[in-house]
Amino acid sequence: MPTIKHGMQAILLLLLMLQLSGCGKPAPVEPPKLGDTISDVTFVSLDNGHLTLASLNDKLVVVHFWATWCAPCRKEMPSLERLSQKLDPNKFALIGISVDEDVNLVKEFKLKYGIQFANYIDIDMPLAKGHFGATAFPETFIISRDGKLLRHMIGEHEWDTPAMLKLLNDAYSGITTKSGAYW
């Protein structure tokens, strides 16, 4: 028969769970600087498959963090999908990484909006916060063919414009601007 003590024990357990809920989350790191080498990392797909950044060697890699609950992320997703269809898969890898807490939300979103480019999941943000030092969503890191950070972009963009395609193709070819920076 339930007693006051049992009730108190249940409350105590709940409090302990609340206290511990903040544990195990990755500590945020500083985002990499332009030109920094991005250390190897493993992406986990929506079906629990794995892909390493190192395996994409010699491709220009676009790592894009987003979430279904993020308004600007949802808004720009169609243009990212169009971009993925315009990029040569032998030269470029567009890696979407959702920081949603439930993989089913991401799968549903992809189905609903016809998103086909490769997407991965980052529950609790070990990649976003613990590896890339993300500061907002959406956030995009463009990594050169030799693994260096070329561009760090915060916020939404129109991804499939001719100017953006030229920038990506120039970056793939190693064409730099007059200042020596890529973009």
Partner 1 sequence: MSRFYQLAVLLLLSIATTVEAGDPFSGHHVYTQHCLQCHSEDGSGNMVAIPNFRQGEGLLQPDYVLAETLKQGLGAMPAYRGLLDDNELADVITYLRTLQ
**Interface with partner 1 (CB under 8 A):** 5, 8-9, 11-12, 15-16, 18-19, 28, 67, 69-73, 99, 125, 128-129, 134-139, 154-156
Give φ, ψ of 43 to 5 degrees.
Answer: -95, 140
Helices 71-86 and 103-113, packing angle to 10 deg: 60
Closest approach of Cβ 136 to partner 1, in Å?
Answer: 4
Nearer to partner 1, 28 or 89 (CB): 28
How many other CB atoms are there within 10 angstroms of residue 20's CB atom? Answer: 9
Nearer to partner 1, 18 or 163 (CB): 18
CA distance 9 to 3: 10
Instruction: Give which of 130, 69, 60 is closest to 88, Cα–Cα.
Output: 60
Nearer to partner 1, 35 or 155 (CB): 155
Closest approach of Cβ 159 to partner 1, in Å?
Answer: 14
Closest approach of Cβ 176 to partner 1, in Å?
Answer: 24
